[in-house]
Amino acid sequence: MSVSLEYGKLKRTGFYPAFVGGGLLAAAIPIANTALRQDVFTSVKESPFVVLMDANWQMMAMLNVFMIVIGACIVYHIEYADNALQKMEALPAKGESMFFSKCFVLAAASVFMIALETAALAFCVRCWFSPPEDFAAQLFSSMGFATALSVPAVILMMGISSACRNMWISLGIGVIGIFATVVIPPGSLILSMFPFTLPFQTFSGAGEGEAGELLLGALVEMAVFCAAELVYLRIRRNVQ
């Protein structure tokens, strides 16, 4: 399966409008928050980008993860509707290729949201703060960090959706995973590796050593989730 084919399938769903709307909503958070509390933010003697991330990123990350959950459910629901997936398995097409193509589409949609949020943060700094000399480096390193940490959640949710014929089951599992981040105590590096918690971590909030460990943990999780999905697809193909 090619990425272009997966893109074409999703054109007939609400996938793309959902991510556009979610991205615009997430991007509006720092703009509205800074506009309404300008005096509070500008009086803090710290890097403008750090101030904005500390004040807004948790809500923005919540929307990012929620859209990943919704997007994964939509992506595989169209395959299970009217037994389309069983019909496709009769064709000379590999389920592994379809899975990774879907992961790419969902990851690209997530990157689109983060790009809108990056533009919103840059607008806030330019409009209400005096940008530091290293602002561009701070902005892109932090957003790149956020993008890398969102990929494990993308792969995990796509694997859950591929295993659940009923979209509401995969949606429920994803929502439970999101709410589980609320009860995870802050400051624990091990618990921060939970796939739904990783997108909430910020580059500015983590030290250099911890940021590297988080990236390494995300890479390991990606490999584990991909391997588990390959095993699952092989078992499902042999059982059916």
Q: Which sequence spans correspond to the domains of the chain?
A: 3-239
Tens digits of residue pLDDT in 7-55: 888 887 889 999 999 999 999 999 999 988 888 887 878 888 888 888 8
Which residues in the chain come in under a pLDDT of 70?
Answer: 1, 82-93, 186-187, 207-208, 239-240
Selection from 207, 201, 164, 171 nearest residue 186 by Cα: 201
Contact 169, 132 (CB under 8 A): no
User: Strand, helix or coil at 81?
Assistant: helix
CA distance 157 to 4: 21
CA distance 189 to 171: 27
Tens digits of residue pLDDT in 186-204: 667 788 889 999 999 888 7
Longest pairwise C-alpha distance within the chain: 64
Q: What is the pTM of this model?
A: 0.90
Can you give the pLDDT at residue 171? 92
